[in-house]
Amino acid sequence: MAQADTASLPQALPPWHRLVRTARREPAMAGGVLVLALLCLVAAVPGLFAGQSPYAIDVANALQPPSAAHLFGTDDTGRDIFARVIHGTRMTLAICASALLIAAVIGGIGGTVSGFFGGWIDQGLGRLIDVVLSFPPIILGVIVTGVLGPETSNLILALSVIYLPVFFRIARSGAVGEVGKTYVEAARCLGLPEATILRRHVLRNVLPLVLMQYIVQFPLVLQIQAALGFLGLGVQPPTPDWGAILQQGKDAILLAPWISLFPGLAVLITAFALMLTGRALQRSVDRR
Amino acid sequence: MNQDKGEKIMRPGSNPWARWRRWALTAAAVVGLAGMAVPAAAQDLYGPKAAQATKGGALTFGSLVEPPALDPYHQAADARIRFTVLMYQGLFYEAASGEALPLLAQSHTVSSDGLVYTVKLRSGVKFHSGQPMTAKDVAYSYNYLRDPKNGSPGAGDLALIAAIDAVDDTTVRITLSKPNAALPMTLGNKYGGVVPAGYFDAPDAKQALNQKSVGTGPFKLAEFKPNSHLALVRNEHYWEPDAPYLDRINILFVPNSAGLIVALRNKRADLALLTRPQDIQQVEKAPGLVLERWPSLNQKALDLGSELSPLGDVRVRQAVALAIDREEIMRAAVGGYGKVIGTMVAAMQDRWGVPLDSLPNQKADIEKAKALLAAAGHGNGLSLTLTTINGYDWMDPAAVTMKQQLARAGIDLAIRRVDLGVWIKNFQSKQMGLTFNDWATQPDPHLLFYRHFHKAPEGADFRNWANADASALLDRGLAETDSAKRKEAYAQFQKALAETVPTVMLFSADHVSVRNEAVQNYQQHPTGWFYGLARTYLKK
Amino acid sequence: MGRYLARRFAASIITAVLASIVVFLIVRAVPGDVVAQMLGQTSDPASTQSLRAFFGLDQPVWTQYGRWIGAALQGDFGISWTGGRPVSMMVVDAFLVTLEIALLTLVLATVVGVPLGLLSGIYEGTWPDTLIQTFNLLGLAAPVFWTGLMLLVLVSSALGWSPPLVYAAPGESLADNLAILFLPILALGLLQAAAYSQFVRQNVVSALHQDYVRTAIAKGVPARIVFFKHILRNIAIPLVTFMGLMLTQILGGVVIVESLFAIPGLGRLLLTAIQTRDYPVLQGALLVVVIAAMLVNLGVDLLYRVIDPRVRLA
């Protein structure tokens, strides 16, 4: 009933108004989007939120519990955890977003091609993906960054290798579904080149699936990134990043639990907002 | 009388220097007295004996490190050495002062050309099985160790040996290919240890070492259960009179320091060694626990590889050294539980070191650093990348502290943290650039300096220092048998090291032991190995 | 069915062999081998060379692989380079630990997650549903190792409790064993329970919207019967598949939790083997992980058929 309402909504309504309506109908999604927007703002201009420098060390004030001066306390060199969490947002989100982008593009194209052409290409690529999938993700991340070196770009590559199979499979199943449909058969009968069919019809239908998966996988890649950072495979010090702060906190966990508490909460909140948004999107896609 | 041997812990910052000096004096005095009172140095093996020691009892030792296996011939892990030194013995003992004392050897003579060592063996030594040890066993053990085909990581250290023969039942002759004053120290306890002749002929001999020990040490293996515990019991055939005192040592492998601290507080562990300042702070205030600090042989260093273009210029290296405040780095890195050093590790400073105030480039001097950089053509600033190793707790805080210090001299420091395996690979291929390093050797200046700093091909010269004068000094120290002249050669070498800065030795982190009050007479050896357990007793 | 199984099995074998080759090559591409680490800063070229020869690392990679796989097929996985123990023994010991964690987590997740999912599905749109869904999302959003850390802080500071010092196998002391595994299983279990609950809820909701269920309800069939006959049966099959999937996910998630709590399982073994470049252990352990995942998937397929005889895959 609700969706019928939307469909008949006159387009003349100002976009602002429609936004409010949508928000009222999907409060969870609205909340999620709001948090995400805030996170993007934090990532863009961290200085607006954190007054202190995330780099300034102050050995005399190391391992201080949260206080008015240091909202989230200080780490083992006396740096302000609040500033580091705030300034770490950009790096953390950028790493996850770009890793997923690479995985989505390569996995998406690979999966579509594999599903569309079938045969030995499909068999070969499928086996390859099975091999990647057979490794526990953390182990894969450790090995790949080990081979490539500790640079942040390599961490991104490692994460994209971990998530490639997900996009591959989604795109493949989408493409297989499309291949069976009459319009593709028809286009083939018309003698359109395979590449054109692939580009014009199949890819276009696979794209929304991949996009949806991008949002669904984002919270998971965030967690893996934090886990790799926790193992010391995150960004290079002193650059702040949530996983890296978590790793720092591990050694002093009973003495200074606040070092670990807050970056973990940041991951939790971000993932939570992403999941809310993702689920609401999924619902609206399902309804159509 | 042993109360003050290891110093009671105090807050870092409450003038560690004075306390340190006092420690060193006390220790030196005790050693001196012992040397006068008894002719043989045997009294000092493993630490002083205690006249009023209570015999018997089981001590529970909490260990954060676990040996992957107990084979002293094939396992390189430091955690293995720490425990196997209680079960296996070599010809000599690495005395804390930096001398090699006879252990299974009784005495030795050196031929005038310095090539033939004739070692008289201690009599009455028996293996854990009760079988007496003879020269044949000694020759077999060292020959097995040095044969590259047997795959021991310790073989390389003995490469200078041409032959080892058993002359008679109690005499072994060791022939070298060239003179080496550090030979006794290399015949110590890091690798190998004397085992019965032919031991490794059995196909499962290596693995059997995890079930049964076959050495001559004060303790023998009772049980080893990976991920859980190691139990050692007193060797009833042991050759030293009245030692060891404990009947049994139960070593628990505690996976994290939180667990260890709880165990110490609850008296579920009697003794432990702590490495991280955060842990030390947590135990400090616990009643009934005694913390003691011990000097160590380790060095946390900043290495400057000359293959990296700006570091090839000695002025840049000197500028880096002058921009650093070691005291502040040590406070950030290990919470102050260490000692700032110059060119010699803390435990060997008295015997082999040069006073810091007579060495160049030791005190921070930003203006001079800037001037040197400007002279080298980096007046507008310089960018350097510091490599640190993942998993070395002290390096990250030290790196960010140093970044801030170097910035004052106009050096922009980037930090690159790599995996240990990767780091070792770069180090061995002499591509280390600017890096933190964390290393230790047995207490001998030759073992400390030669491979690291002698020019290639004789030494590895990991930092591409290529200093011919310094290498000549190292050669002199190696060939010189006169103790005073040997010290002089190494003193001159250290001045060269401080002057042209292939490395900046930052500090030695203390060993910190925690014991409950019942545990008596434990001394932590500067290597970090647990020799001291052979002299520990429990007060009833 | 026999032919289908045979084909599935063959595909799995190919994957396993491929995976073993990939592992073999990739671990050798990581700089710094076991010899480099053993010798460390005392390395010299002669010792490096002789030790590499001792471990067979001087041979071409394919020769090394041929030797390894040949022996592995006969059940000989070699000796650990850093520990000197037979790899098969180490892997089996570690696998049993991980298996215990995985199974207990599975039980916890099922016992907590399934009822929660049923509840929130049946009461779709009401406040219990909202509450449970919030729990689900929070459970899924929290990094599992962080949950573990926070649980540790919580119990140790609030209750003053800490797990036993030394790992004990269930055969030695079941109480100690469970006390040690309690926190890691709780951390893993929370995440898994959330996933279960979410999954079950979705299936219940979609089942409730099916025409035949609506008809049954409209016809006045007692709720109890509708629930057991229609809804539960509808959920059973996808749930089994899902459990299989989640079981393999535990194998992945356990890596970091085991290192965090220092539990001597497969995850920690793998991580240590990578760090020390102990190739025989790494290869052996990864092979076991791959095969375990394969077997779980195969088992799920079989179960599928037992639950629903209609399923026939040619």
pLDDT at C68: 93
Q: Is residue A272 part of a domain?
A: yes
Residue from B392, A140, A219 nearest C144 by CA = A219
CB contact under 8 A, C37 and B424: yes
**What secondary structure letter does DSSP report for C79?**
B
Q: Does A256 touch chain C (CB under 8 A)?
A: no
Q: Does A261 touch chain C (CB under 8 A)?
A: yes
CA of C68 to nearest chain A CA: how many angstroms apart?
19
pLDDT at A1: 39
* Dist CA C267 CA C273 (whole Å): 10
CA of B417 to nearest chain A CA: how many angstroms apart?
6
A147, A236, A239, A241: best to mutate for the B interface, most B CBs within 10 A = A236
Q: Is residue A16 part of a domain?
A: no
Mean pLDDT of chain A: 87
CA angle B161, B163, B169 (to 5 degrees): 120
Q: Is residue A13 part of a domain?
A: no
Q: Does C291 touch chain A (CB under 8 A)?
A: no
**Parallel, antiparallel, or unpaired: how do β-strands B58-63 and B271-274 relate?**
parallel
DSSP of C240-264, one letter per residue?
A: HHHHHHHHHHHHHHHHHHHHHHT--
Residue burial B17-40, b: 16+ Cβ < 10 Å; e: rest:
eeebeebeeebeebbeeeeeeeee
CA of C174 to nearest chain A CA: how many angstroms apart?
27
**What secondary structure letter does DSSP report for A61?**
G
pLDDT at B301: 97
CB contact under 8 A, B331 and A59: yes
Residue from B187, B193, B87 nearest B137 by CA = B193
Tell me how crowded residue B236 is: count the other CB atoms within 10 A of its CB.
9
Q: Is residue A93 part of a domain?
A: yes
Q: Is residue A278 part of a domain?
A: yes
Q: Is residue A172 part of a domain?
A: yes
Q: Please, are residues B376 and B313 in contact by the beta-carbon 8 Å criterion?
A: yes
* Positions of chain B with pLDDT lower than 50, given as ranges: 1-43
Give the nearest partner residue to C146 out of A246, A269, A279, using CB atoms.
A246
Q: Please, are residues C175 and C287 in contact by the beta-carbon 8 Å criterion?
A: no
Give the nearest partner residue to B428 out of C43, C82, C166, using CB atoms.
C43
Question: Is the per-residue pLDDT at A27 higher than 90?
Answer: no
* Dist CA B218 CA B233 (whole Å): 9
B residues 172-211 closer than 8 Å to C (CB)? 206-207, 209-210
Q: Please, are residues B475 and B179 in contact by the beta-carbon 8 Å criterion?
A: no
CB contact under 8 A, A76 and B397: yes
Q: Does C141 touch chain A (CB under 8 A)?
A: yes
SS3 assignment, position A29:
helix
Non-local (6+) Cβ contacts of B244 within 8 A are B218, B219, B234, B238, B533, B534, B535, B536
Q: What does the pLDDT look like over C263-292, one tens digit per residue?
A: 999 998 998 898 889 999 999 998 888 888
Domain extent for A183 = 80-287
CA-based nearest residue in chain B for residue C38: B76
Which tokens is A218 given? Answer: 């984002």
A143, A233, A259, A267: best to mutate for the C interface, most C CBs within 10 A = A143
* Dist CA A85 CA A50 (whole Å): 9
* Dist CA C49 CA C69 (whole Å): 24
Q: Which residues pair with B175 in a beta bridge?
A: B116, B163
Which ranges constitute the DSSP H helices of chain A? 2-7, 15-25, 27-44, 81-117, 119-133, 137-148, 152-179, 182-189, 194-197, 203-230, 242-250, 258-287
Whether the ω angle into residue A238 lies within 30 degrees of 0, i.e. cis, is yes
- Of these ranges, A172-186, B172-186, C286-300, the one predicted with the greatest mean pLDDT is B172-186
Q: What does the pLDDT look like over C149-178, one tens digit per residue?
A: 999 889 888 887 777 778 888 888 899 999
- C-chain residues near B227 (CB < 8 A): 166-167, 264
CA angle B32, B479, B473 (to 5 degrees): 95
Q: Which residues pair with B67 in a beta bridge?
A: none
**What secondary structure letter does DSSP report for B515?**
E
List chains touching A (3+ CB pairs under 8 A): B, C
Question: Is the per-residue pLDDT at A8 higher than 50?
Answer: no
**Parallel, antiparallel, or unpaired: how do β-strands B382-389 and B434-439 relate?**
parallel
Q: Does C145 touch chain A (CB under 8 A)?
A: yes
CA of C181 to nearest chain B CA: how many angstroms apart?
14
* Dist CA B492 CA B453 (whole Å): 14
C residues 228-287 closer than 8 Å to A (CB)? 251-252, 255-256, 259-260, 267, 270-271, 274, 286
For residue B310, how many C-alpha atoms fall within 13 Å in the half-sphere facing its CB? 21
Q: How many domains does chain A have?
A: 1
C165, C268, C278: best to mutate for the B interface, most B CBs within 10 A = C165
Give the nearest partner residue to B417 out of A62, A232, A253, using CB atoms.
A232
CB contact under 8 A, A255 and B276: no
Which amino acid, residue C83?
Answer: G
Q: Does C92 touch chain A (CB under 8 A)?
A: no
* Dist CA A258 CA A64 (whole Å): 9
**Parallel, antiparallel, or unpaired: how do β-strands B289-294 and B511-516 relate?**
antiparallel
Q: Is residue A129 part of a domain?
A: yes
CA of A147 to nearest chain C CA: how many angstroms apart?
4
CA-based nearest residue in chain B for residue C160: B262
Give the nearest partner residue to A143 out of C18, C26, C256, using CB atoms.
C26
**Length of chain A, in residues:** 288
Match 């045969």 to its residue by tokens. A119
Q: Please, are residues B303 and B432 in contact by the beta-carbon 8 Å criterion?
A: yes
CB contact under 8 A, A264 and C143: yes
* CATH at A150: 1.10.3720.10
Output phi, psi for B234, to 5 deg: -60, 135
pLDDT at A13: 65
CA-based nearest residue in chain B for residue C161: B262
Compare C213 and C58 and report the one with higher pLDDT: C58
**What secondary structure letter does DSSP report for B60?**
E
CB contact under 8 A, C84 and B258: no
ipTM of model: 0.88
Give the nearest partner residue to A253 out of C144, C152, C252, using CB atoms.
C152
Q: Which residues pair with B176 in a beta bridge?
A: B161
**What secondary structure letter does DSSP report for A181?**
S
**What secondary structure letter does DSSP report for C1?**
-
CB contact under 8 A, B396 and A233: no
CA of A27 to nearest chain C CA: how many angstroms apart?
12
Cα–Cα distances (Å) from B324 to B302, B357, B358, B501, in that order, read: 10, 16, 18, 13
* Dist CA C161 CA C156 (whole Å): 5
List chains touching B (3+ CB pairs under 8 A): A, C
C residues 109-138 closer than 8 Å to A (CB)? 137-138
Match 């947002």 to its residue by tokens. A89
A22 pLDDT band, cuts 50/70/90, is confident
**What secondary structure letter does DSSP report for C83?**
T
Match 């201080």 to its residue by tokens. A64
Compare A182 and B300 and report the one with higher pLDDT: B300
Q: Is residue A141 part of a domain?
A: yes
- CB burial class (10 A; 0-12, 13-18, 19+) of residue B266? exposed
C30, C41, C282: best to mutate for the B interface, most B CBs within 10 A = C41
Cα–Cα distances (Å) from A38 to A42, A215, A274, B127, B239, in that order, read: 6, 17, 12, 72, 74
Match 């008809």 to its residue by tokens. C215
